[in-house]
Structure 1
Amino acid sequence: MENKKKLQIQIPDEIIRNYCVDFNHYDFGVYAMLKYAHFRNPKQDKGKLEVDHKFIMNKLFINDSRTLKKSLNKLYKYGFIDSEVKRLPRNGALKLEFNPVPFKTKTFTQLPANLINKIEHIGLIGYRLVYYYESYINRKDVISKQFCFVGQDTISDELNINKETIKKYNDILKKNKLITIKRHQLEFDGYDDLDNVVFTKYNNHYYVHIDKI
């Protein structure tokens, strides 16, 4: 049996960055849980899932079943599940036909499944931000690019999260030692036509600490 610490949840970068979907943090968390369930499902009828929706709500700290239902139907809208969820079962499992990637994709980001257990401390927004930063890191390039340097405007636009919220969850992620942020000061870049000093602003560098997950 595989050590649980080695289990990974692999998510397409298009989903992480909202290139092909419009997922909020609830939608992203529900997708990740179903992706994990799909990974652990037996090979036969792999797409047919029977999941405990109350367990999902508990793991993702979703307090209202209507929120879960709304996210499931967002997944239905984009073709990840085969039918609209009109009602959650009072007893027994929720049965779904799940297609984890209903489109062609080339790039994925994977992180240890144990990251889900940290949602209690980092929230669903923090959970998604860790995936987001990791999606911009090239782990194969051990010399020059072991960090994400996407600007806050891009983060805010792609994830539809305001900058104040990004800062709040960055601080939470730093407190939990999941990321380090190196801030870069303005650097001299010559003069413009009016002989005024021009500075080049460098984006923050975000380091993800997979070993802390």
Structure 2
Amino acid sequence: MTQRDPRTRPGGSRIADSPEAWEVTSTEVPFEGKKTSVRTDDVVMPDGSVARRDYQVHPGSVAVLALDEEDRVLVLSQYRHPVRQKLWEIPAGLLDVPGENPLHAAQRELYEEAHVKAGDWRVLADVYTTPGGCDEAVRIFLARDVSVAEGERFEVSEEEADMEHARVPLAELVQGALAGELHNNCLVVGALALSAALASPDGPDGLRPADAPWPARPFRP
């Protein structure tokens, strides 16, 4: 008996997001900051009415779930002022320029925040963080074969100067996420995605290659 792919709907279609753009009749930019801005669009709804939508315009981000030889994940804690909490996170950062290769950005962030390099890279997950109010897209990488990077440590400042580093078993992070004790979206998504990948027949080697296309943020090879 042939088993049906659980991602396939009755009739043969796959569960997958699809590109779509509703008509915008006007656009304003009421705020423009150093890295992000706020845009206001008047959008034509399916019934013909026009609704105003405010959202943050974001350059995009990368995050790295780095797994060491003892199957521990490299994490760090950082104060996040908007939520008034010090969160445990995985190394992450913004794409510096439009079209930047996300792998290069991820390698930079792993070096700057943890002084670590990795020999094997895979795409773990691509997510929109808050699609109802922000266009931020994040690519989360799995980095394996990690080791200490050469050279001087990157000099950090502001919130990053207070970061604490740790290496934590994956199972502990999954448990913390499900218990509501860990809240950073990249850490939670990354830990759960890696747990699922490890349980799959192909394991992490079945994940997409590090240079897989990313329609949300197209990049140069």
TM-score bracket, shorter-length normalisation: under 0.3
- Greater share of strand residues, 1 or 2? 2
Provide the TM-score with structure 1 as the length reference.
Answer: 0.23
- Greater share of helix residues, 1 or 2? 1
